[in-house]
Structure 1
Amino acid sequence: MLKIEIPYHDDGTHYYEGIRHLKWPVFLDSAFQSGREHSALARFDIITANPFTTIISNDGIISIEGKDAGSSNYKGNPLELLQLLMEKYKCSDVDLPFVGGALGYLSYNHGTQSKKINIIPSMHFGIYDWAIIVDHHEKKSVIVSPLFQEQTQQLIDEVQVSLTNNKKQKKEIFTVESSITESADLPSYAKQFNAVKDYLKQGDCYQVNISKKYEVKVKGDSWNFYKKFRKINQSPFMAYLSFDQFELLSGSPERFLKSTDGFVSTRPIKGTKARGSNQHEDSKALNLLKHSSKDKSENLMIVDLLRNDLGVNCLSGSVKVDELFTIESYPNVHHLVSSVSGVLKNESNIFKLFDKAFPGGSITGAPKKRAMEIIDELEEHARDFYCGSVAYFSFNDRLDSNISIRSIIRKNDALHFYSGGGLTIESNLDDEYAEIEDKVKNIKKTILFFKEK
């Protein structure tokens, strides 16, 4: 195991700018910002590039290129293929979240049969044999590589030189070229809302998550946009992933699944209130959320769903609720968050765990299967990356992942982004529509910043 300590920087963008010229660079961003209070969730940044194998799944065809694979196409479950490709590279445990492994995204539509047209493939993963790990609690940064490949050592040498010489790069101009268009105004959303209410009354579901899509025309470097967005958004599961034809910008505050040494956890968000404009109004909003029977009911439905999802791959009796109805506060909203954990069965693994629980229940509704059918019927747009996940499967058998809400696809000259919320029998139309807009405020605020420049 190669492990090299490098100078620590509290701004993770420093490291990404040193490697972003390489193939498929990725930045898992805790959005740590010096001088601001952060939770235990905002500890590590992970930066890597130049995977030795790539896996893309699109329209049921899985394309694999790279070391040990050549160039091949397959059908089947891409996560099972990913597991097979990584099997030979397992390493002994290292006390780091990621030591190399598979890192990428799955879209919400992974494994579904929807006929809607997607903007991007349902899955992109690279298998990386090195990474920069930034630990903001210990204020240390290391380059780690488990495989001792000669070409990797050469790349790491180049990266160290690049980081040492990394000066403030000249910003490529990023501009907003149009107004934001939306897939649903209030009257259109009301039709979806009423249709969901009918399904709820008939007993099809207890909760259904309905979203709307936004689009804006842009030009220039998305990285410039992301750097502003992360300062405004400040969420612990942000990410920037750059592929050949598009970029993904995630502003997620929500963990999907984490697994460390067989201990599994998930942190669903259900329940939202906009921040107040002053301290009094903000405290009032927080207390309203804290004591909201509607939001607690909504949260509890998803906690029960996730207990069942974890139970498929966890030891009988090990699944438990660690936190219920905790408040987490972000620049634009307060959230109601719970935490569920379990212990992985010996015969299971992190790939099976992820596959059986995906997509996250907090962005579907309950029961999951019927909720997803209703979503597919009522939403005109494909969700694509929205409500999917950015995830890694490390060589040391660790997994972490987000729910890709508050997230953006940049393809060609457009940003595509989405927002939604869970509807229950108690939901109010105006409140739910306002919540959708509250959730997307930070993206719109960043767009406005560049539009006014």
Structure 2
Amino acid sequence: MLSGAKEARAYYKDHYIDLLTGESHEFAVEGWLSLLNFPVAEHPIEKRVVHLFYELGFLFENLSEEIMSTDLLAINIEYTKREELQINPDHKKIILSLKSAPHYHDYEKQFQKGHKELTEGNCYQFNLTGEYTYDFEDDIEAEDFISALWKDPKKRGAFASATYIEHFEQLFLSNSPECLFRYEGGMLSTMPIKGTMKRNTDDPREIKSLWKELVLDKKSEGELFMIADLLRNDLCRIDLPRAIVTRKKAMLLVPGLIHQYSEIKVPLSQHVTLKNILEKIFPGGSITGAPKKRVMQILKKLESRSRGFYCGSTLLFSKGQIEASINIRSSVVDFKKRSLSYQAGGGITLLSQPQHEFLEMTYKHDSYIDTLTL
């Protein structure tokens, strides 16, 4: 756990807020991005957390007109202390009351509009998402949510994170299993997830049966290979054109679900900067689609909302290593409104059926909410 923030800023398109003082300053977000122009092989700050919000990706794709002045684009926090996280085993039980959820009728309309873009050749895959909102009781605190997620290591994602921002009175809580990139020892890797099936138990026989079914599913395979190829090309554009797929199709188990993923790696030369990497691969292809720029424009019209923290990335820095998640299975908990916002979705291809995709979205919703509340 990191604590004792010495600098904390929230960046918007044309200003930033000092999260320690509450003061607002005129400042273009490009100025902050220039500060990320340091070689990843020599990154200078270890006790640092960076949250990149989905809409920042429009800037990297030269679509800044799609960014609203109210869109939060990044949070940068530098800490002074690293200590062991203390979990409260007697934390208050998280009880959530559903306030709103995607309706199938509305989802099907979005699906059909997006599917038309596929049939007309404007894209090859798009990741359609929906939003769920919940209310919770006044006595529930940020520590209760964090303890609920951290109490069972078997249910915690490999890239789980939690950041409470006092200025906003919000908790950014993620149980992400997905890696945007990992840098270590001169090697950059990424791990796109595509393909999902619901599982009811940890029984190896059920897992083996479901995995066999998932491996043979042509829609899931095409979805995974398409995004793996997109990311291989993204990695090649960063530095040396030597990115290779090191795992073509592998199993990943998360609470209530079985996924498949690929792994792609590329060696980096000493001069490659963090900004170089982010410009080429953020936001992740698995939560946008292909081709990325066109799909992001399509999704902006289909979804009619900002994704924000969801589908953004959380970067953690340690000596000789940088890890960046993709913030799926993630929520924003607002203690002013006593509300929780959670978003979920999935990739749509020509072979997709709206009923199946809507059901997959609910499975991903259940995986996260059940982890917090059961």
- Please indicate, yes or no, whether the TM-score normalized by the shorter chain is above 0.5: yes
Q: Does 1:302 align with 2:205?
A: no
**Conserved in 2, the CA contact under 8 Å of 1:63 and 1:73?**
no
- Provide the residue aligned with 1:417 in structure 2: 342
- Give, as a single letter, the amino acid of the residue that structure 2 aligns with 1:77: E
| SS of structure 2 residue aligned to 1:100 | coil
Alpha-carbon distance in 1 for matches of 2:251, 2:94? 36
Q: Which runs of 5+ in 2 are unaligned?
A: 59-64
Deviations 1:115-144 (CA, angstroms, capped at 9, x unpaired): 6696x7221111234424x7xxxxxxxxxx
**Conserved in 2, the CA contact under 8 Å of 1:116 and 1:381?**
no
User: Whose relative contact order is higher, 1 or 2, with alpha carbons under 8 Å and at least 6 apart?
Assistant: 2
- Provide the residue aligned with 2:62 in structure 1: none
Deviations 1:303-330 (CA, angstroms, capped at 9, x unpaired): 11111111121213x2111001111112
**Conserved in 1, the CA contact under 8 Å of 2:142 and 2:164?**
no
Alpha-carbon distance in 2 for matches of 1:78, 1:418? 30
Alpha-carbon distance in 1 for matches of 2:274, 2:67? 29
- Provide the residue aligned with 1:255 in structure 2: 179
Alpha-carbon distance in 2 for matches of 1:199, 1:71? 41
Alpha-carbon distance in 1 for matches of 2:195, 2:289? 13
RMSD: 2.9
CA separation of 1:168/1:437 partners in 2, compared to 1, >3 Å: closer, same or farther?
Answer: closer
Q: Does 1:178 align with 2:131?
A: no
Q: What is the correspondence of 1:135-174 to structure 2 with a 5 Å cutoff? A: 171=91, 173=92
Give aligned pairs, total: 356
Q: What is the correspondence of 1:215-364 to structure 2 with a 5 Å cutoff? A: 215-219=133-137, 220-230=140-150, 231=152, 233-244=155-166, 245=168, 246-276=170-200, 280-316=205-241, 318-364=242-288
Alpha-carbon distance in 2 for matches of 1:85, 1:443? 35
- Give, as a single letter, the amino acid of the residue that structure 2 aligns with 1:265: S
Alpha-carbon distance in 2 for matches of 1:250, 1:90? 24
Q: CA deviation at 1:197?
A: 1.0
CA separation of 1:101/1:447 partners in 2, compared to 1, >3 Å: closer, same or farther?
Answer: closer
Q: CA deviation at 1:221?
A: 0.8
Q: CA deviation at 1:64?
A: 5.6
Alpha-carbon distance in 1 for matches of 2:43, 2:50? 18
Identity level (%): 26
Q: Which runs of 5+ in 1 are unaligned?
A: 1-46, 92-98, 135-162
| SS of structure 2 residue aligned to 1:126 | strand
**Conserved in 2, the CA contact under 8 Å of 1:213 and 1:381?**
no
Alpha-carbon distance in 2 for matches of 1:333, 1:188? 25
- Provide the residue aligned with 1:204 in structure 2: 122
TM-score (norm 2): 0.86
TM-score (norm 1): 0.72
- Give, as a single letter, the amino acid of the residue that structure 2 aligns with 1:121: L
Q: CA deviation at 1:432?
A: 0.8
**Conserved in 1, the CA contact under 8 Å of 2:14 and 2:26?**
no
**Conserved in 2, the CA contact under 8 Å of 1:65 and 1:71?**
no
Determine which of 66, 69, 72 is the counterpart of 1:114.
66
Q: CA deviation at 1:50?
A: 1.7
Determine which of 439, 446, 449 is the counterpart of 2:364.
439
Alpha-carbon distance in 2 for matches of 1:90, 1:213? 36
Q: CA deviation at 1:291?
A: 1.5
Q: CA deviation at 1:388?
A: 0.4
Q: CA deviation at 1:436?
A: 0.5
- Give, as a single letter, the amino acid of the residue that structure 1 aligns with 2:322: L
Deviations 1:328-364 (CA, angstroms, capped at 9, x unpaired): 1122111111000101234321232123210001000
CA separation of 1:425/1:208 partners in 2, compared to 1, >3 Å: closer, same or farther?
Answer: same
Alpha-carbon distance in 1 for matches of 2:364, 2:193? 12
- Give, as a single letter, the amino acid of the residue that structure 1 aligns with 2:323: D
Alpha-carbon distance in 1 for matches of 2:130, 2:19? 35
- Give, as a single letter, the amino acid of the residue that structure 2 aligns with 1:181: S
| SS of structure 1 residue aligned to 2:351 | coil
Determine which of 53, 71, 76 is the counterpart of 1:125.
76
Q: CA deviation at 1:102?
A: 2.8
CA separation of 1:101/1:228 partners in 2, compared to 1, >3 Å: closer, same or farther?
Answer: closer
